Every structure is written in C-alpha cells, then in structure tokens.
Amino acid sequence: MKYSYYPGCSLESGAVEYDLSSREVLRLLGVELAEIPDWTCCGASAVEPVSSLLTLALPARNLALAEREVPDADMLVPCSACYLNHLRVERECGADRKLAARVNEALSAEGLSRSGTVRVRHLLDVLFRDVGPERVGQAVVRRLEGLTAAPYYGCQVLRPYPLFDDPERPASMTPLLKALGVEVLDWDMGGRCCGASLMATKRDAALALVSAILDAASGADLIVTVCPMCQMNLEAYQKEAIRSGGRGRPVSVLYLPQLMGLALGLSEDDVLLGKNLAVTDTLLGKLRAPEAAEV
C-alpha cells in the first residue's frame, strides 16, 4: 500500500506529534508514504470567507503536484480541514467542467494542471478500510487493557461528504480501538463540532461547545481525535472550558495514531506524548502499569 502524503501546516508545528505518530504507525503497518514535494497551505478554514476561487485553487495546486510526483497513488491526509479542502476540489471540479477549467487556469500561473486522477483519503479512512482492524490487531504487541476511550471525530472528516462512516453517529474508530484492547465509551458527541476557528474569533461560543464535549467524556480515560483543530480546542482550552461552566473534569486528549503507536510497541517518546497539552497522571499511570500486558 502506497500513498502520497499531505501533512498540512499544523502537522509541522502545533500537531507535530500527529505527524510523527502517523508516519511511524503507518510504517509499522506496512504502509508506504511519499510526502508531496513543495506542498503548500490548503487555505484551512480561513480561505472560503476570503475567496471562492482560491478555496479550490490552493488545494488543487497540491493535487496537481501529487499527480505529477506520485502518480497512481491515493493522497493520504491526516488533518480533517485539509482533507475536506482537497476533497472539495475532487467533488466540485468533478461535477463542473467549467469550474475545473477555471481552477486549471489559475494553476497555469505556476505551469501546473490537475486532471483529477488522484483520490483524496483521510488517515482514518485508510486505517479503517484499507489497513483494517484485523491487521492492526495482528500488529499489536502490547494490549492497552483497562483504558476507556471516547472516540472524537469532529465535523469535516465526514461532513458534508460521508465517504466511509455515518456522519451523525460515526463508529469507524471503534473496531480500531478495540483491536488495541481499549474499551470504547458509548457516547453521542463524537460527531459534534468543537467550535473550530470560532475559538479565535468568538471564544465564548466555542468554549460552550468544548465544555459540552468534555462533560460527556467524563466516563472515559481519554478522548481520541483525528484532527489537529479538534485536538487543540479540546486540550489547550480545556481548563478555560471547565472554568467557564462545564461540569467536566480534566481528561487526556490523544491523537488516534499516538494511542495506536503505544499498542504497536512505540515508546511515549516515540509518539511525542510530551508534546500533548492534556495528559493526566491517571492516564500515564494506567499506560505504565504492568498489567498493560505484553502480547
């Protein structure tokens, strides 16, 4: 299995632990990645309020590079906002040839052109459908027994294009987590919005959403995420959200491949656990307990 890889800007800085643990876990699962050379920002969630053409042209530039540099491979994207921005080009330009031509006219400024041969795939989609829980289970060397996780999917990984899971009540993380030996919290907040960039522009509105998610995760040892924006909102603003009226208590928040990496034999340092902003002593104690059995 080979994919072109688009890390996106946040995986170079605020979400460096997501980048490294994704690369390591995929390597352990026999997945080959070729990072797209010269990739640039996809516009994140800020481009659509500024320019409709740029909303498609920015990700289209990366898709054109992927086509040229890593042909015949799907493009794997761990960040949900990056994923949706690139997927929108595939969907909207695929349905409208005039629009596709307009986007290519913009790309001509760089001597690039996109023909639409690259499929865009989220990391979770690849883990769930291409690798599969069975193969993950076979690669586990240390079952994470005694942990309960609240799988948090966020919005843009399944909306508006639910390609691999139910966008109202997503469940694709459940078999993957169970393959690690982790118990899964039965909750209905997995697909709720974390506030996204409202945390920068309308803090109170975003804090209310984060509060509700943290409250609902009270029964879990950790929340597991697949998006740098969700991760940041849930971990960095946790204290503020709890202070602002949430009834929740501090809860650890880890990226899915970080947790997978620990079960696949990587150390806490290997998955950069020290970079996370919300890791409780309770979780560390459970992770380090001898009963987290070697297989």
Partner 1 sequence: MNQRSEAVSLPAAVTIAADAAALAEIQDMVRACMQCGTCSASCPNAPAMDHTPRSLWRMLLLGLVDEVLESRTFWLCSACYSCTLRCPRGLPLTAAMAALKRLAASDGRSADRKRGLFYEDFMRNVEKNGRVRETELMLHYFLDMRDPLLPLEYTPLGLKLLRKGKLHLGGSGQLGRLGPLFAKVREMEARP
Residues that bind partner 1 (CB under 8 A): 9-10, 12-14, 16, 38, 40-41, 43-54, 57-58, 61, 102, 105-110, 155-156, 159-160, 162, 167-168, 192-193, 195-198, 200-206, 208-209, 236-237, 274-275, 277
Query: From the CB of residue 107, how many other CB atoms can be counted at a distance below 10 Å?
Result: 18
User: Min. distance of Cβ 108 from partner 1 in angstroms?
Assistant: 7
Closest among 222, 220, 227, 218 to 191, alpha carbons compared:
227
User: Min. distance of Cβ 115 from partner 1 in angstroms?
Assistant: 18
The answer to whether residues 216 and 187 touch, using CB atoms and an 8 Å cutoff, is yes
Element (H, E) at 64: helix 52-69
Residue 13 or 267 having the CB closest to partner 1? 13
Name residues whose C-beta falls within 8 Å of residue 228's C-beta, 6 or more positions apart in sequence.
8, 10, 11, 14, 15, 18, 78, 79
User: Min. distance of Cβ 93 from partner 1 in angstroms?
Assistant: 15
Residue 61 or 143 having the CB closest to partner 1? 61
Residue 4 or 233 having the CB closest to partner 1? 233
Query: From the CB of residue 195, how many other CB atoms can be counted at a distance below 10 Å?
Result: 25
Taking the C-alpha atoms of residue 295 and residue 280, their distance in angstroms, rounded to an integer, is: 25
Please state, in angstroms and as integers, the Cα–Cα distance from residue 88 to each residue in 91, 116, 171, following that order.
5, 12, 23
Residue 178 or 275 having the CB closest to partner 1? 275
User: Min. distance of Cβ 205 from partner 1 in angstroms?
Assistant: 4
Residue 103 or 263 having the CB closest to partner 1? 103
The answer to whether residues 125 and 75 touch, using CB atoms and an 8 Å cutoff, is no
Residue 142 or 203 having the CB closest to partner 1? 203
Taking the C-alpha atoms of residue 266 and residue 272, their distance in angstroms, rounded to an integer, is: 10
Closest among 151, 154, 158 to 195, alpha carbons compared:
154
User: Min. distance of Cβ 24 from partner 1 in angstroms?
Assistant: 18
Which two tokens mark 31?
Answer: 């997945």
User: Min. distance of Cβ 199 from partner 1 in angstroms?
Assistant: 9
User: Min. distance of Cβ 235 from partner 1 in angstroms?
Assistant: 9
Taking the C-alpha atoms of residue 231 and residue 223, their distance in angstroms, rounded to an integer, is: 9
Residue 181 or 195 having the CB closest to partner 1? 195
